[in-house]
Amino acid sequence: MRRTVAASAGCVAALFAAGCSATESNTQEPDNCAPVMSTDLNTQEGWLGLIEQSPETVSLVVDDGRGHVVEHRQDEQQALASAVKVVHLAAYSRAVAAGQLDADEQVPLLDWERWYVPGTDGGAHPAALDRLGIANDGVGATDLGATVRLDDMVTAMIQESDNAVPDYLRYRLGDDVLVEAAAAGGWEGFEAPTLVTTVLAVFDPALGEGDQWATAQRWAFDEQFRAVTGADVVVPAYADQAASVELVGARGSAAQLDSMYRSLADGSFGEGADIALRQLEYQPAPDGAEGMGFKGGNLPGVLTQAFELRRDDDTVATAVWLTDGLPADRYDAANAGFGNQQMLIIDALQSPEVLDRIACVV
């Protein structure tokens, strides 16, 4: 199935390599707040302008770990896109720590790629294959009889935001393990998503109806279903894609996602937290920090960011910023300028003045 979609469920790449509706904010506005002068998402100021312009599309928690917390619609359920994969990572990490999975297990590439929907992930899967040195034709692996180390598969879920790995892990571990891992991170009531059905439903909303996990398993194991589903695909209008994401995609709140990150970073998650942090913190940390981890995501209408920062003084900062309901033009601008949002978040985790600037607009 080769498709072009207005967006992918893939991760937005992190840069650090070298008035409210529904639920009011709990944040006290600082004194002497300057007005926001831009809505240009190619600037940090523009991301503040987005909150002022469309507060109902944003939910966030920024906690600097030193007593300063900014919140906005933090308990509202919003689309998460690939940010939800931190739960799959947590479940994997607990299973490895408990000896239920072997990180060094050699997994047949066929078992990975059966959960892959080609052409729907912005090139994440072939990029992961390239990084791991796995022969491929720019779409998928050329030798499905070859194997890949399980832990390397998980790196693809985090670094390139491969969409096949989460459903593979759900199949291997079961829903209860995912739900228990979420609960260990303080996220009660987690509902296991399927990335396979989410992206299939973007093209055919009918595929998102009924038992979504059963649909994902048909894709994985029923060759005839795959062939029929992949035939004569017509890419829907952007608005229809975004509507499907809201109906079918993973959902959660900024507070729930923030709880997961804080529990992993401060160790309260329990066994496996170190394994998860090793995966999340694959890029260099800023000065004064032991590690910084990140996982974000995007789908039509949705852009999500989540960070944890472990400082040398043993304090932990976390941030989650969820945006949904973006019209096509703003979504394109957000994807082009998300690096400015990421730098704003990173600055806010380290600077009380920048955090106050965010507090001024929520």
Bridging pattern class, strands 297-299 and 302-311: antiparallel
- The string of DSSP letters for 29-43 reads PPSSPPPP----TTS
What is the per-residue pLDDT across 204-263, written as a single tens digit (0 to 9) for each?
Answer: 999 999 999 999 999 999 999 999 997 667 889 999 999 999 999 999 999 999 999 999
Phi, then psi, of 270 in degrees rounded to 5 = 100, -155
- What are the Cα distances from residue 50, in Å, to 58, 134, 163? 8, 41, 28
Name residues whose C-beta falls within 8 Å of residue 75's C-beta, 6 or more positions apart in sequence: 23, 59, 253, 254, 255
Q: Does the CA dihedral 266-269-272-278 come out positive or negative?
A: negative
What is the per-residue pLDDT across 127-174, written as a single tens digit (0 to 9) for each?
Answer: 999 999 999 999 999 999 999 999 999 999 999 999 999 999 999 999
Q: Which parts of the chain sit beneath pLDDT 70? A: 1-29, 231-232
Give pLDDT, residue 233. Answer: 73
E-only strand ranges, 37-130: 58-63, 69-72, 78-79, 106-108
Q: How far apart are CA 88 and CA 163, in angstroms?
A: 11
Give pLDDT, residue 235. Answer: 86
Give pLDDT, residue 26. Answer: 53
Give pLDDT, residue 17. Answer: 30
Neighbours of 347 (CB within 10 A): 16
CB 251 within 8 A of CB 79: yes
CA 15 to chain centre: 15
Instruction: Tell me the residue length of the chain.
Output: 362
Percent residues over pLDDT 70 in the chain: 91
Bridging pattern class, strands 58-63 and 316-323: antiparallel
Give pLDDT, residue 23. Answer: 37
Percent residues over pLDDT 90 in the chain: 86
